[in-house]
Structure 1
Amino acid sequence: MKKIKALLLVSAIIIAASCRVHAQEGWFKRFVQKTISDTTAPGESSFRIYPTLGYSPETSFEFGLSSLLIFQANKDTLNRLSEVQAFTFVTLEAQYGIWLDNAIYGDKDKWFFLGRTRFQRFPLLYYGIGPETVGEDPALIDANYILFKQRVLRKIKPNFFAGPEVDYQQLYNTNFEQPDNHTYDKPLGSDGTRNIGLGAALVYDNRHNVLNVRKGFFGEISFLKYSSGLGSDFNFQGVNLDVRSSHPVSARNVLAWQLLGNFYSGNVPFNQLALMGGEMIMRGYYYGRYRDKNMIAGQVEHRWLPFGFSKRFGAVAFAGTAVVAPKLSAFTFKHIRPSGGVGLRYLLFPKKDIYLRLDVGFTKDGPGFYLFTGEAF
């Protein structure tokens, strides 16, 4: 998706931290100073909230607020850093949404809660299903969307967790708008769908800071089954695999890689197929630009956090590949899609080593811009 995102905070940070210009006393200066400072003591929780501004052709201007809460259980610095991120937005096209992501570790890792929640009225661009789809004139599916996905994991042994997983997704009040120069067959679920999945997840995780992993390994395999007996409109199942590893090259440099696999079977609605693109992996592609029942993706990233000549600013360079297919035997090299890009980093929480990231991903479809707190993986 050719979506330009600019954060008002970035301008304030650059002005306040780099240029050091003299501003008049007032609410804006106090806001900037509070946002870029990190005065919390070790073990104490930290909270930030800041405005966002974005633009895309299908939404017009987008105004929002992002917030981040980070803490350690019992204020113990030996416990892992937990994070809860929230983002709410509204656009000039009367679209709106609330996003919430959580990675919460209990005292001494006894429990691990990993999940995300979404509610939004937001257009979905639909390019079709399969590894070869039309690159122009996508359909526009305007709908209300609810997602609640949560894993409740219990520590089995150090760094190893297991537990149940639930996934609830609903698409309603849908309107499928065909483009002027192309007609799509309406996919499964395009008139609205509700699906509930239950399953289990196994996770190995020795990361201490999930928002900026300088050294650590994360591996997850999960199984989810959606059935009419649970209240789902469609019967299908899926296996998901996510492996991430980060390796320090020097005191400031980190080399990280990720492998991701989604494998579904049954009557899978279009919005719950394996989706390529987005802000996490295959940056530069619109989320769902390519979709099918199966996907394999990988990426590698080099991080300079921070630069040797700066205490606050850093950068990354990344590259990735992915492929989708209707079944495992249908994966082919000719359908592999590449992506790559660069990013700028600003150290938002110095005492907790957490950065604000602005990434630009490049693909054959054009650039994609992403602005979030914490690294992509």
Structure 2
Amino acid sequence: MIKFLIPFFMILLGNQTLIKAQANSGIDSSCPPKTIFELFKKRDSVLIVKPIKNSFLLVIPIIGVQPATGFSYGATAQYTFKGADLSDKYSSANLGVTFTTKKQLLINVKNNILLKNNKIYLRGDCRLYVFTQPNYGLGTNIIPSERKNPDFEIESIEEPMDYNYFKFHQTASWEVKPNFYVGGGIEIDWYSSIIDKNLDVVNGKWTNHYNYSKQNGFNDTEYFVNGVSLNLIYDSRDNQINTRKGWFANINYRFNGDLFNEQKSSNVLYTELRYFIPLDPKKEHFILGIWAFGQFVTNGVVPYLNLPAIGWDQRSRSGEGYTQGLFRGNNLAYMQAELRFPITCNQLLSGTVFANYTTTSNKQDHIGLFEYVQPALGVGLRLLIDKATRTNLVIDYAIGNHSKGFYLNAGETF
């Protein structure tokens, strides 16, 4: 999907000084950071030290187009904030509303919030979609290599589908040791009004979704996956909005119960690791970032649309170079490595180069994890929007196997 995100307005509030923020973040005082908005401000001969802000609201109109949705328009708001204590870390909450010419409605509410001097950690992902998205089958072997089939087109394996999706995932974790949190959550997924457009049972034309649903005892027009989870987090990142150093690790084990007709009990394990390495101790904005996660159905079965798939992580950023949901399977493993570097000394413009790798399994066809791996490579530009939170406007272009994508967002990919 192509999105054009245009900064609309900012509301800034806070009480710390710019000098303190520069000292705490390793900024070179001879070349202070400058945002894109400051380029249009009139220069004064007198240097004024302005207060750094403890909160930042960015509202961005969204205009986009893709085959699944047609023309889309809407807005997303990101609120970034922190407490008054110098040790408090930034938190973020996002709200996005999008409409499309295919009469679709997409509402997203996300949160990563630290409270009580970083003692309480809230993470949430809530969505309400009136949605259209093709499915492509299970496993990463659904796309041949360029060498074996250079004329292959992904559209040839598309299976168009309409459905409504309600998602409520919210965890709360408490710090038991420095940077280490233990907690739990509620996780609800409800898929309804599912229409398989390529399905023609009378004439024997079945789809991957229909076959999987019938083989595993699910209603192919509506299903629920409801459960609770145990959540473990380790987070030593200096800033979750734009990290320069530290670790983030998350283990979430979900228990889904058999609460409704045709609902199946299951267990799903989600593991995630992010590691950020400053390549120059004196210049922390030269960074190597590593992001890896895995999602595994360890017991029972889950419905087709709830199987692990790329692009369905909390921020919908995994799998750049491929369309959302292209790779889906009983288990999924993903890794991305990204080199971040400044282009201008004032950090107004910076860049990235990255690579990612995806592998999924297909139990029905005995396709194992790591048997087929799909790579992608990409480059990106960053425009600094806010100095205090280090929020960037993100512009990425990635090329995968028989696929490519252009991405515009607010905030880093991971």
Q: Tell me, yes or no, if the aligned pair for 1:43 and 1:76 is still in contact at 8 Å.
A: no
Counterparts of 2:2 and 2:115, CA distance in 1: 37
What's the CA shift for 1:15?
Answer: 9.4
Q: How many equivalent residue pairs?
A: 353
**Does residue 281 in structure 1 map to residue 315 in structure 2?**
no
Post-superposition shift, 1:17? 6.5
1:34 paired residue number: none
1:271 aligned counterpart, secondary structure: helix
Give the unaligned 5+ runs of structure 2.
Answer: 9-34, 43-48, 144-153
- After TM superposition, give the deviation of residue 183 of structure 1 in Å: 4.6
Name the SS for the 2:274 alignment partner: strand
Q: Could you tell me how far 1:281 is from its partner in structure 2? A: 2.2
- 1:59 is the counterpart of 2:69: yes
Structure with larger RCO (C-alpha < 8 A, sep 6+): 2
Q: Distance in 2 between matches of 1:15 and 1:318?
A: 24
The answer on whether the counterparts of 2:340 and 2:351 sit within 8 Å (CA) in structure 1 is yes
Q: Secondary structure at the match of 2:160?
A: strand
Q: What root-mean-square deviation, in Å, do the aligned CA atoms of Structure 1 and Structure 2 show? A: 2.8
Cα shift at 1:231: 8.2
Q: CA 1:234/1:41 → structure 2, altered by over 3 Å: closer, same or farther?
A: farther
The aligned counterpart of 2:277 is: 247
The residue number in structure 1 matching 2:146 is: none
What is the deviation of 1:236? 1.4
1:325 has 2:361 as partner: yes
1:353 is matched with which residue? Answer: 390
Sort the Cα spacing of 1:212 and 1:15 in 2 relative to 1 into closer, same or farther, 3 A.
closer
Q: Deviations over 1:266-315 (max 9, x none)?
A: 121111111134642221112221211111111100012x3235541111
| Equivalent residues of 1:323, 1:331 under 8 A apart | no
Distance 1:332 1:267 in 2: 17
Within a 5 Å distance, the mapping from 1:176-215 to structure 2 comes to 176-178=196-198, 183-185=206-208, 186=210, 187-188=212-213, 190-215=220-245
Aligned partner of 2:169 among 149, 163, 181: 149
Query: TM-score of the superposition, structure 1-length normalised?
Result: 0.86
- Cα shift at 1:351: 2.1
CA offset at residue 77 of structure 1? 3.1
Q: For structure 1, which runs of at least 5 residues remain unmatched after alignment?
A: 23-38
Question: Cα offset for 1:69?
Answer: 0.5
The answer as to whether partners of 2:310 and 2:319 remain within 8 angstroms in 1 is: yes
* More displaced stretch, 152-161 vs 231-240: 231-240
* Matching residue of 1:47: 57
Q: Which runs of 4+ in 1 moved over 6 A?
A: 14-18
The structure that has the greater radius of gyration is 2
Match of 1:8 in 2: 6
Cα distance in 2 between the residues matched to 1:313 and 1:362: 22
Report the TM-score, using the length of structure 2 for normalisation: 0.79
The structure whose residues are more often strand, as a share, is: 1
Cα distance 1:109–1:9, how it changes in 2: closer, same or farther (>3 A)? closer
User: Is 2:249 the counterpart of 1:219?
Assistant: yes
